[in-house]
Amino acid sequence: MRRIVTLDDIAEGLDALCAADPRLQAVRAAAGEIPLRLHPPGFSSLAAVVISQQVSTASAAAIHARFKTLFNPLTPRAILASEDSAFREAGLSRAKQNALIAIATAIDAGLDLESVASMDGTSAMETLTAVSGIGPWTAQVYLLSAAGHPDIFPAKDVALQAAVHHALDLESRPTDKALAALAESWAPWRAVAARLFWAYYRATKGRDGLLTAPST
């Protein structure tokens, strides 16, 4: 499986997308720089995605900073050995605490997140969402940002929905199902399309839209 690992990969994907869908040429021009947004696969990166569920990017960054200080080193064993008070001090909800514990337990039982990163998209999604607390958005963002999957599009992401609505001048903000259907035309570069519309959201709204979601 080819991975998105360099800015040259992003540029190649953008060229292909704009050739296939000329509407995206104006989106690309308005979006400005398209960041790579790639992190090493593993527990730390997946934990960061879980922390980012249902909060603003700024809030997620603050919570994550406290979390890394309290859980240092950040490992599954550290999560499993911690008291409830540490999660509360970090600012995590009970649902996120439970999700992190479930992920740590799965890793302790043999789940290999590095191996998941090398799987095809369907297999990787099935493996991740089998863990309690990992829903489609969390799995998709992890595969996009930590595994470099080229054809992942988190259609539940509210910033992507808003960006596509505005950029393509749609009558209304698309539902996740409608956006997923629309994004099919951007295969096999849907992960680059997601980066493009996140960058467009940042450029037009003045704030970062990555990692904003209605649910796991």
CATH classification of the domain holding 25 = 1.10.1670.40
| Residue 131 clears pLDDT 60, i.e. is over it | yes
Q: How far apart are CA 180 and CA 8, in angstroms?
A: 26
The pLDDT of residue 212:
46
Residue owning tokens 């989106």 = 27
188 and 120 in a common domain? no
Q: What is the mean pLDDT of residues 32-43?
A: 92
Instruction: Identify the domain boundary among 124, 145, 166.
Output: 145
The pLDDT of residue 209:
60
Residue owning tokens 């996009």 = 144
Is the Cα dihedral 26, 31, 32, 37 positive or negative?
Answer: negative
Q: Is 124 part of any domain?
A: yes
Domain membership of residue 21 as a residue range: 7-37+151-205
Among the residue ranges 94-98, 162-166, 204-208, the one predicted with the least confidence is 204-208
Percent above pLDDT 90 for the chain: 80
The pLDDT of residue 61:
86
Q: What is the mean pLDDT of residues 142-164?
A: 94
Instruction: Identify the domain boundary among 103, 130, 145.
Output: 145
Q: What is the mean pLDDT of residues 188-203?
A: 96
Q: Is 19 part of any domain?
A: yes
- pLDDT higher at 200 or 53: 200
Q: How confident is the model at residue 216 (pLDDT cuts 50, 70, 90)?
A: very low
Q: Is 216 part of any domain?
A: no
Which CATH number does the domain housing residue 53 bear?
1.10.340.30
Closest CA to 46 of 96, 110, 120, 3: 96
119 and 168 in a common domain? no
Q: Is 21 part of any domain?
A: yes
The pLDDT of residue 130:
96
Q: Is 101 part of any domain?
A: yes
Q: Is 210 part of any domain?
A: no
Q: List pLDDT tens digits, range 41-91.
A: 999 999 999 998 888 788 888 998 999 899 988 999 999 999 999 999 999
The pLDDT of residue 60:
85
Q: Is 51 part of any domain?
A: yes
- Total domains present in the chain: 2
Entry pTM: 0.89
The pLDDT of residue 215:
38
64 and 18 in a common domain? no
Percent above pLDDT 70 for the chain: 95
- Residue 55 in contact with residue 63, Cβ under 8 Å? yes
107 and 54 in a common domain? yes
